């Protein structure tokens, strides 16, 4: 299965500054932690957009793969802020 590259519409969901910031973050985190990004770069790109969008919306990179009824409550818990527990535990991001 292949996934298309993020479209301009996808990229418009988050600020270019936070997309760049999160791209650098995930690449550096993977390198420093010994974890892995998805082998299909498009999936990592969509993950980065989601992280950046959450920074734009609530100020923190909440895991975009999760549904949060109350994002502010999740921020206070600090459980699903990237790198989330799943990433830290399994060393692989989606």
Active site residues: 65
Which residues are CB-neighbours of 15 under 8 A, at least 6 positions away?
52, 56
C-alpha torsion sign, points 24, 78, 52, 3: positive
Residue 10 in tokens: 């996808």
Residue pair 68/11 in contact by the 8 Å Cβ criterion: no
């Amino acid at each position: 299965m292949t996934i298309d590259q993020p479209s301009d519409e996808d990229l418009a969901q988050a600020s270019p500054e936070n997309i760049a910031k999160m791209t650098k973050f995930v690449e550096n985190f993977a390198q420093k932690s010994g974890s892995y990004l998805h082998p299909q770069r498009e999936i990592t790109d969509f993950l980065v957009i989601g992280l950046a969008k959450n920074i734009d919306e609530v100020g923190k990179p909440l895991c975009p793969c999760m549904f949060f009824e109350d994002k502010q409550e999740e921020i206070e818990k600090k459980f699903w802020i990237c790198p989330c527990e799943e990433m830290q535990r399994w060393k692989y991001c989606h």
